[in-house]
């Protein structure tokens, strides 16, 4: 039998900053709700060096669950923009974690939880999209003096749409569906449901469950990197949807590398993360431009009310916003191609994972 790692999420009046990583045989106790609600980033992986694949999976799911729960107060109590961003990141990391450890861990009950996570996150996506639109896309372009009235009305409509989107997101973040999801996820972790559902193929799955997590890390990272390279093939000719798929593949690679970070030489891992993050940031900005187009379409679809800017001035302002960022995107894509060359040549440090 493998060693048991006890992982718990607890309510405690502790500061938001994480404590030092515990020893391999200690309880992993993380505050479920920080004393001072604020945005919480994902904590570094605490998977021990000698963990099996199954133990690493359990610890990773627990940390992902903490990341979700820890950002609910910032969203519900403070309507914090960064808190909403971190909550959506937490859901993405959890969905990647469900799939990252291989098909043996993708049991029916966990796949159902993964689908519920996707659905919950999608119900909060519009709020985040409008946060980005107003803060990062509308404001830089609004300095154009030719259609100030149009920009004022566009901003007013965007703010009204954001308030409605946030109201809907708060109903999700503070509602029973998310609470029930966290409870069900906690039960799945506590009862190790993937072991219970492995009865159909006991020998094959038990072998994978008990293999060193370090070996699994090397195999999973190699597979993720191959997938990214496949998505980046013919980079110069990628369509907008294909660029989006590349961005998703890069996110999966980044989160997976973070789950297995304790097995990698720190300096090499950090260098890889920097290159990966820069490529991700560029593709994320390009995706924001694509999202902005659909947002502008919705905001300009309603006829202007009497006494405010005309339809033509609103449409002109929308065109300025989109054109401004479309031109910027063209330059960013050239930078993305240069960044990709460096990332593609990066040392495959996971092939010789080194204990730290």
Contacts of 203 (CB under 8 A, 6+ apart): none
Higher per-residue pLDDT: 265 or 310: 265
Contact 275, 269 (CB under 8 A): no
How far is 260 from 274, CA to CA, in rounded Å?
Answer: 16
Is the model's pLDDT at 22 over the cut of 50?
no
Contacts within 8 Å (CB) and 24+ apart, 102-108: 102/53, 102/208, 102/216, 102/220, 104/194, 104/198, 104/201, 104/204, 104/205, 104/208, 104/209, 105/57, 105/194, 107/193, 107/194, 107/197, 107/198, 108/197
How far is 162 from 86, CA to CA, in rounded Å?
Answer: 18
Task: State pLDDT tens for residues 309-327.
Answer: 567 888 888 888 888 888 8
Is the model's pLDDT at 72 over the cut of 90?
yes
pLDDT of residue 206: 67
Average pLDDT over every residue of 27-52: 78
Average pLDDT over every residue of 252-281: 94
Average pLDDT over every residue of 85-102: 97
The pTM of the full predicted model, rounded to 2 decimals, is 0.86
Contact 329, 286 (CB under 8 A): yes
Is the model's pLDDT at 44 over the cut of 70?
yes
Contact 287, 316 (CB under 8 A): no
Average pLDDT over every residue of 70-87: 96
Beta partners for residue 28, in sequence order: 7
Q: What angle do CA 197, 4, 354 make, to 5 degrees?
A: 100
pLDDT of residue 10: 45
Average pLDDT over every residue of 28-45: 73
Task: State pLDDT tens for residues 228-256.
Answer: 999 999 988 888 889 999 999 999 999 99
How far is 235 from 333, CA to CA, in rounded Å?
Answer: 10
Average pLDDT over every residue of 60-87: 97
Is the model's pLDDT at 176 over the cut of 70?
yes
pLDDT of residue 90: 98
pLDDT of residue 216: 95
How far is 313 from 316, CA to CA, in rounded Å?
Answer: 5
Higher per-residue pLDDT: 307 or 119: 119
Written as six digits, the tokens of 80 are: 């914090």
Is the model's pLDDT at 152 over the cut of 90?
no
pLDDT of residue 3: 53
Most confident among 6-10, 37-41, 122-126, 288-292 (mean pLDDT)? 122-126
How far is 182 from 165, CA to CA, in rounded Å?
Answer: 23
Beta partners for residue 8, in sequence order: 29
How far is 111 from 94, CA to CA, in rounded Å?
Answer: 12
Average pLDDT over every residue of 328-351: 88
Residues above pLDDT 90, as percent of the chain? 58
Domain ranges of the chain: 7-352
According to CATH, what is the number of the domain 7-352?
A: 1.40.20.10
Length of the chain: 356
Which residue in this structure is represented by tokens 């966990």? 110
């Amino acid at each position: 039998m493998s060693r048991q790692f006890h992982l718990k999420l607890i309510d405690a009046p502790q500061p938001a900053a994480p404590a030092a990583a515990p020893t391999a045989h200690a309880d992993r106790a993380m505050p479920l709700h920080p004393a001072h609600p604020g945005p919480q980033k994902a904590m570094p992986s605490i998977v021990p060096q000698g963990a099996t694949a199954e133990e690493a999976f359990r610890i990773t799911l627990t940390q992902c669950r903490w990341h979700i729960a820890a950002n609910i107060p910032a969203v519900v109590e403070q309507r914090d923009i960064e808190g909403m961003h971190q909550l959506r990141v937490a859901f993405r990391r959890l969905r990647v974690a469900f799939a990252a450890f291989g098909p043996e861990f993708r049991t029916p009950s966990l796949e159902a939880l993964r689908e519920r996570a996707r659905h919950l996150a999608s119900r909060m996506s519009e709020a985040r999209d409008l946060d980005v639109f107003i803060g990062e896309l509308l404001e830089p372009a609004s300095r154009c003096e030719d259609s100030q009235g149009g920009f004022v009305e566009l901003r007013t409509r965007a703010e009204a749409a954001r308030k409605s989107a946030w109201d809907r997101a708060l109903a999700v973040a503070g509602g029973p569906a998310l609470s029930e999801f966290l409870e069900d996820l906690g039960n799945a972790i506590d009862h190790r449901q993937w072991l219970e559902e492995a009865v159909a193929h006991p020998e094959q799955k038990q072998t994978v469950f008990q293999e060193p997590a370090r070996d699994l890390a090397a195999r999973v990272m190699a597979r993720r990197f191959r997938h990214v390279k496949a998505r980046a093939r013919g980079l110069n000719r990628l369509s907008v949807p294909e660029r989006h798929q590349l961005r998703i593949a890069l996110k999966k690679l980044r989160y997976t590398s973070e789950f297995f970070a304790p097995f990698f030489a720190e300096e090499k891992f950090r260098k890889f993360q920097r290159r990966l993050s820069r490529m991700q940031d560029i593709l994320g900005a390009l995706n924001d431009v694509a999202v902005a187009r659909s947002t502008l379409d919705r905001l300009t679809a309603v006829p202007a009310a009497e006494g405010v800017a005309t339809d033509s001035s609103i449409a002109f302002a929308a065109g300025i916003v989109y054109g401004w960022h479309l031109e910027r995107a063209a330059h960013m894509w050239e930078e993305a191609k240069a960044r990709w060359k460096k990332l593609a040549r990066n040392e495959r440090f996971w092939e010789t994972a080194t204990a730290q």
